[in-house]
Amino acid sequence: MLDLFFLAFVGLFIFAGLKRPFLLVLAYTYIDIVAPQKVAYGFLTSIPISLVTFALAFGTWAVLDDKRGTRVSFRQLLLVALLGYCGLTTLGADFPDEAFEKWSWVWKALLFAIFLPLTLRTRLRIEALTLFMVLSIAVIVIGGGIKTLAGGGGYQTLKLLVNDNNGLYEGSIISCVAFAVIPLIVWLVRHGTIFPKSKLVVLFALGLSFACMLMPIGTQARTGLVCGAVLAVLSLRTVKHRMLYLGALGALSLAALPLLPTSFTERMSTIENHKSDQSASTRVAVWKWTIEYAKANPLGGGFEVYRQNKLVYETIDEEKAGDNNIALETSTIVEEGRAFHSSYFEMLGEQGFPGLALWLMLHGLGVWQMELLRRRYRSREEPELKWIAPLANALQQAQIVYLVGSLFVGIAFQPFCYMLVGLQCGVWTYARRLQARPIAAPPSMAKTRTLTA
């Protein structure tokens, strides 16, 4: 039944795309995030809907779309360089079969991110892409939020749509992405034209944001808690009434604490003392291994290189032993083939220093460019311009949340995050095209002037 539903939905989407080809880009975005072929697990798995949709999206863009004034941003060139470099490391990978398996989806994510900004020619397209990214995440998050409220949460036990524990259906990753999406939800409510602001829209946005905030509780992912804290701090920059915001945040946190599951608070408390928690100790051991590996292999070992690691570390447990005495029990743990649990170390180990440099430059420039847009357009009140600064701010916040979450989760090649990069590039090149056109000066200026890029 689910197969038929998804097939019908994708079919109608593609049919609509034949009339308006840009809709095929949105269709591919939806398929890449939701992965309906995984959710349905029926005959849909045998239909290559992802490949078909991408081919249609690219083909119709190449043949039909207006390409006048198309600009390629420097970050798209960085993506091309990263794509090429990852291809090279895959050819010489330490684990060729596993590396090729990861490469089989990484190149698609990078290619789509390179292609995406070329299609974002209008304000409405930018808004539509943002909306579909948010609604696609909503497919996963709404169910996760309801199950969390119903008490169905737990570390690696919360059943999202797909029992995969992979990609966006993995607890830490969806917790990070869920918080990254909240600024985009706020922007859509305030500046959306597809669903203009109304009581229903605000209600849905509040519900969706709440569901996003429930994800770290349901998945008991510490990464999610850290991402939430980072977003709360970033929001201080743009919120109008800071003291009221801080007061409300504090009150809500205090009110929520007694309602949280004990298993959640116990797991979160291990953030402070990683030595007694095996998963946190494993992370530190892997990171140390990666640094040593990178010193010996500065160009990287290709995808999945972590499989060769062998880690020996100690955990320390404290136990009460009589009055005023604490017994320390040391355990020696040996583990093999543990994943990086950090995008930074994932890049360092797999793609070496050049790959890490490209990745850092890609994201660092993103934060900087969004800051530039935010400052350049924040005082503009014209309807055709006043949405740019808030969107740049939202995208910057989303990216910073991702970059902080990336400290603890290996999501260096997560496709959703490259869609975010593509969206940023699209907004950047759109703003540059605006600057190159003669536009009316703000009301405070008497003469019309042309801004050079």
Partner 1 sequence: MIDKITILIPHVLMAIAVWRLLLRDDLDHDGLAEPPTRSFRRGRPGDGDSGGA
Residue 38 lies near partner 1 (rule: CB under 8 A):
no
Stretch that binds partner 1, among 125-133, 260-268, 317-325, 407-415 (CB under 8 A): 125-133
Place of tokens 């948010």: 134
Say how many residues make up the chain.
453
Residue 16 lies near partner 1 (rule: CB under 8 A):
yes
What does the alpha-carbon distance between residue 387 and residue 273 come to, in Å, rounded to a whole number?
44
Say which amino acid occupies 67.
Answer: K
- Positions 327 through 356 that interact with partner 1 (CB under 8 A): none
With CB under 8 A as the rule, give the number of residues binding partner 1. Answer: 45
Residue from 195, 210, 245, 313 that binds partner 1 (CB under 8 A)? 195
Say if CB 368 and CB 423 are below 8 A apart: no
Residue from 63, 97, 150, 453 that binds partner 1 (CB under 8 A)? 150
Q: How far is CA 93 from the centre of its chain?
A: 26
Residue 41 lies near partner 1 (rule: CB under 8 A):
no
- Positions 55 through 74 that interact with partner 1 (CB under 8 A): 65-66, 68-69
DSSP for 327-359, written as a single string: EEEEEEEEEES----SHHHHHHHHHHHHHHHHH
Residue from 18, 72, 77, 124 that binds partner 1 (CB under 8 A)? 124
**24 vs 234, which CB is nearer to partner 1?**
24
What does the alpha-carbon distance between residue 140 and residue 176 come to, in Å, rounded to a whole number?
13
For 69, other C-beta atoms within 10 Å of its C-beta total 11
> Between helices 388-405 and 171-191, what is the axis angle to 10°?
170
Residue 125 lies near partner 1 (rule: CB under 8 A):
yes
**408 vs 416, which CB is nearer to partner 1?**
416
* Helix (H), strand (E) at residue 36: helix 36-40
Residue from 77, 194, 321, 441 that binds partner 1 (CB under 8 A)? 194
- Contact residues for 437 (Cβ-Cβ < 8 A; gap 6+): 450
Residue 115 lies near partner 1 (rule: CB under 8 A):
no
**13 vs 408, which CB is nearer to partner 1?**
13
Question: Shortest approach of partner 1 to residue 385 CB, angstroms?
Answer: 9
Query: Which spans in 236-311 are helix H?
Result: 242-256, 262-269, 278-296
Residue from 75, 121, 267, 283 that binds partner 1 (CB under 8 A)? 121
Residue 146 lies near partner 1 (rule: CB under 8 A):
yes
Question: Shortest approach of partner 1 to residue 4 CB, angstroms?
Answer: 13
Q: Retrieve residue 173's tokens.
A: 């990753």
**66 vs 272, which CB is nearer to partner 1?**
66
- Contact residues for 175 (Cβ-Cβ < 8 A; gap 6+): 215, 216, 219, 221, 223, 224, 227, 405
Residue 313 lies near partner 1 (rule: CB under 8 A):
no
Residue 4 lies near partner 1 (rule: CB under 8 A):
no
Say if CB 180 and CB 420 are below 8 A apart: yes
- Positions 151 through 180 that interact with partner 1 (CB under 8 A): 161
> 3-state class of 273 per DSSP?
coil
Residue 199 lies near partner 1 (rule: CB under 8 A):
no
Say which amino acid occupies 442.
Answer: P
Closest CA to 301 of 96, 21, 41: 96
What does the alpha-carbon distance between residue 387 and residue 431 come to, in Å, rounded to a whole number?
11
Residue 232 lies near partner 1 (rule: CB under 8 A):
no
- Positions 381 through 400 that interact with partner 1 (CB under 8 A): 384
Q: Binding marks (x or -) toward partner 1, 427..446, rule CB under 8 A? A: ---x--xx-xxx--------
Question: Shortest approach of partner 1 to residue 120 CB, angstroms?
Answer: 10
Question: Shortest approach of partner 1 to residue 380 CB, angstroms?
Answer: 13
DSSP for 115-181, written as a single string: HHHHH--SHHHHHHHHHHHHHHHHHHHHHHHHHHHTT---TTT---SSTT-SGGGSHHHHHHHHHHH
**128 vs 268, which CB is nearer to partner 1?**
128
Residue from 136, 396, 397, 414 that binds partner 1 (CB under 8 A)? 136
Residue from 75, 123, 191, 341 that binds partner 1 (CB under 8 A)? 123
For partner 1, the binding residues (CB under 8 A) are: 2, 5, 9, 12-13, 16, 19-20, 22-23, 26, 30, 39, 65-66, 68-69, 121-125, 128, 131-132, 135-136, 138-139, 142-143, 146-147, 150, 161, 194-195, 204, 384, 430, 433-434, 436-438
